[in-house]
Amino acid sequence: MDTLPMELQVNKPTLFKTDKTIEKFNRNSDLAQLVEELEVGNPILISTYFSDGLLLLEEIQHHLKSKLPNKTFQEQRKFRSEYRRLSNLVVIQVVNHKLVPKKSPTIGWLEKLYPENNDFLLPFPQIQGLNSAWQWFLNGISIPVLRNKLHPYYGTYFPTRFEHLILFDNWLKRYEGPKKTSIDVGVGSGVLSLQLVKHGFQKVFATDTNPNAIIGMKEFMGDTKLSRKIELDFGHLFGKWEKPSELIVFNPPWLPASHELDRKDEAIYYGDKLFPEFFEEAKKRLLPDGKLVIIFSNLAQITQSADNNPIADEIANGGRFKLDKYLTKKVAAASDKTKRDQHWRDKEEVELWVLCHA
C-alpha cells in the first residue's frame, strides 16, 4: 500500500481564538439580547449544558427568519451565509478531548484530529458537524449500489441521495469495453471507485484535492485487496496519473460559484476554469476508443444559477469530444421533513454524459 506524503495534513475545524472577553451563556439571559451580542461580533460560551447551545442556535434561526427572506435558492444561500457567521461565534470548550458542558456527546474525532491539544475552544456548529461525522464514521452508511457500508472520513463528501449512483451503476452493468484501468477524478468517499471495482475494473487510479478524502480512503481500505485495486493521489484533477485509460469518470460540483471558493465549497460549486481545464487534460488521458463519463444534474438551470450546461458547451464548441450517450433519472421529491423550500426538486434530474473522442 502507498504511503501518505509527509506534507498531507488533514482538514479540520479551526480552533476558536479571540482577544475579546467571552460571555458565558446563562439560562436567565435574554436570548434575543445574546443574538444582538453575536451580531456585533461578541462570542458566547456554552459552558453548563450542551442543550444551551441548541437553544441559542434556534434563537439565531428565529431572528434571521424575521429579517431575511428565505424562499428562492439565492435567498436561501444568503440566509445560510449569515447563519454561519453568527452561529460560529457560539463556542464550546474541549478539555482532554471531551466537551465540558453536561450531557454532551462523546466525539472520537476530537482525539483523532487534535491529538496534541488538551484545552481549546471550537465553534458550536463545528462540534455539531464533528458529532454527526463521528456517528456516520462509526455506524457506516448504506449505499444502494455498494455491497458494504461506507464509513466516510470527517470532512469528506459522501452522497445522501443516490439517483446519480444508480444511473452510473446501470450504465456500468451494460458497459462492454475493456476493464484494465479507469481514472476517478475527485474520489471523495470512494463510491464511484468502489462501483468500478465491483463491476470488474482491474485498476482504478483516483485523485482528490481534499486531503481528508485521500487519508480517509487509505484508512478505509487498509492493507486489503482493495488497496491494491485502487491507487490514490492527492492532486488537482488527474494529479500524477499521466497514462491514458479506457474509462475516465468525473462527478463534478453541480453549481457554478458566485463567490470566492474555499475548500468547504469545492465539492458543491465549480469555478470558471474547472471544466475547460478538465476537458483539456481528459483528452490527453483517454485512450482512442475510451469513454469519458460525467455525472451531472440540471440543478443549476432549474434554480436559475446558470443559463448554460458546461458539458453541452464542450460538445458544441470544444472540438475535443462528441456525445456517445446521454441518460437521465428523475430525482425523488424532497422529504416532508426538510425545512428548506425545495419546490425545484420536482423538475430536477441527474444526468449521465458519456463522451468519446471527436
139 pLDDT band, cuts 50/70/90, is: very high
340 pLDDT band, cuts 50/70/90, is: very low
Find how far residue 19's CA is from the centre of its chain.
32
337 pLDDT band, cuts 50/70/90, is: very low
CATH number for the domain running over 163-357? 3.40.50.150
**For 9-24, what is each residue's pLDDT tens digit?**
999 999 999 988 899 9
Average pLDDT of 43-51? 95
Average pLDDT of 176-180? 95
Residue 145: its pLDDT value, please?
95
Q: Give me the sign of the Cα torsion angle 299, 300, 304, 305.
A: positive
Q: Residue 346 is inside which H or E element, if any? A: none
Percent of the chain with pLDDT over 90: 72
Beta bridge partners of 120: 94
Residue 75: its pLDDT value, please?
78
| Torsion angle defined by CA atoms of residues 195, 201, 204 and 208, in that order, rounded to the nearest 10 degrees | -20
Residue 343 in this model has a pLDDT that exceeds 70:
no
**For 230-258, what is each residue's pLDDT tens digit?**
999 999 999 999 999 999 999 998 777 76
Q: Is residue 191 a contact partner of residue 158, using CB atoms and an 8 Å limit? A: yes
Average pLDDT of 29-50? 92
Residue 6: its pLDDT value, please?
52
Q: What is the average pLDDT value for the chain, to the nearest integer?
A: 89
Domain ranges for the chain: 23-137, 163-357
334 pLDDT band, cuts 50/70/90, is: low
Give the separation between CA 327 and CA 161, rounded to whole angstroms: 17
Residue 266: its pLDDT value, please?
55
Average pLDDT of 320-325? 96
Residue 79 in this model has a pLDDT that exceeds 60:
yes
Stretch among 41-55, 62-76, 97-111 having the lowest mean pLDDT: 62-76
Residue 268: its pLDDT value, please?
73
91 pLDDT band, cuts 50/70/90, is: very high
270 pLDDT band, cuts 50/70/90, is: confident
Residue 201 in this model has a pLDDT that exceeds 60:
yes
300 pLDDT band, cuts 50/70/90, is: confident
Percent of the chain with pLDDT over 70: 91
Stretch among 78-82, 95-99, 340-344 having the lowest mean pLDDT: 340-344
DSSP secondary structure letter of residue 315 = I
Residue 162 in this model has a pLDDT that exceeds 80:
yes
Average pLDDT of 12-40? 90
Give the separation between CA 358 and CA 355, rounded to whole angstroms: 9
| Cα distance between the two ends of the chain | 37
Greater model confidence, 76 or 250: 250
Name the nearest CA neighbour of 150 among 97, 221, 199, 95: 221
76 pLDDT band, cuts 50/70/90, is: confident
Residue 21: its pLDDT value, please?
87
Residue 262: exposed, middle, or buried by beta-carbon count in 10 A (0-12, 13-18, 19+)? exposed
Residue 259: its pLDDT value, please?
56
